[in-house]
Amino acid sequence: MFGVLVVEDKEGKLGYLSAFSGKLAGSNHHQGFVPPVFDMLTEQGFFLKEIKNISAINLQIKEIESGAEYNSLQQDIEQLRVTATSEITELKERINSNKITRKQQREQQQKLLSEDDYEYFEAAMIKQSLYDKHLLHELLNKWELALAGKKTELERHEAELETLITERKERSAALQKQLFEHYEFLNKNGDRKSLLAIFRDTVLGKPPSAAGECATPKLLQYAFLNGYKPLAMAEFWWGAAPGSEIRKHKQFYPACTEKCNPILKHMLEGIALEKDPRINS
């Protein structure tokens, strides 16, 4: 989005300022356009330094996740689980079949054997049942131990990943907060407010991403810093429409509600405004 602001200097001379939203060709500075409210791309500035640190963490995370050992452990565990499930299921089916067979044999032998002989027979059946349970217990222990060894190795990598992911999250949040604190907006009275202060009492409670990077706040900030009186402004789209929004080439658009309205409420404080045509009378 591009913006134009008609201004009047202290001698009453008219002129205009121009700005673009966000960055243009990867840069904050272009001849004929006002600078950003805060230049996060300044070399040796805190933003680029911390972005390098976060990028280094991203690289470490990527190296672990794509590493041969980490992926091999995941594959090994999955294969062990498949094999274990197959063997355990097979044994359980055999045990269940044995149980059914023993029941049938009990019913048959109870009719044929004497009471004493049937006691010996029943003892043999119990031994077979206990043996089946023993086999299942041994098999479960076998696979539990086999998986435990691989899981311990995998957990070491996952703990390292979790530490890095947590550090990245904390660094990103701290950087965003620091960035918002450096975006301070003026109004005609010279009052300054940071993005954090401006959005504190909004529904969001905090600034949305890229707040303060739109054209209109840049224009007003430059005007107030240089003693110009804002008279009229407009924003328009130039070029192909982005994938996320409906925009038409050379079409005028109002300032965005989510990002700009809270900022403009502060920046335009005390300035007489025309009625917003979007609001019904």
Tokens representing residue 100 in the block: 């059914």
Residue 201: pLDDT band with limits 50, 70, 90:
confident
- The Cα 85–Cα 11 span in angstroms is 86
Burial letters 57-94, b for 16+ CB under 10 A, else e: beebbeebeeeeebeebeebbeebeeebeeeeeebeee
Give the model confidence (pLDDT) of 42-71 as tens digits: 867 899 999 999 999 999 999 999 999 999
Digit-coded pLDDT (tens) for 173-200: 999 999 999 999 999 999 999 999 999 9
* pLDDT, tens only, 20-50: 999 898 888 999 999 999 988 886 789 999 9
Q: Which of 240, 237, 235, 229 is nearest to 272 (CA)?
A: 229
The pLDDT tens digits for 88-101 are: 999 999 999 999 99
CB 45 within 8 A of CB 166: no
Backbone phi and psi for residue 15, each to the nearest 5 degrees, phi listed first: -160, -170
pLDDT digits (tens, 9 = 90+) for 219-259: 999 999 999 999 999 999 998 888 777 889 999 998 888 88
Q: List the one residue out of 111, 263, 130, 277 whose CA is nearest residue 197.
A: 263
Q: Which residue has the tokens 């269940």?
A: 96
Q: Could you tell me the residue ranges of all domains in the chain? A: 2-38+185-267, 61-179
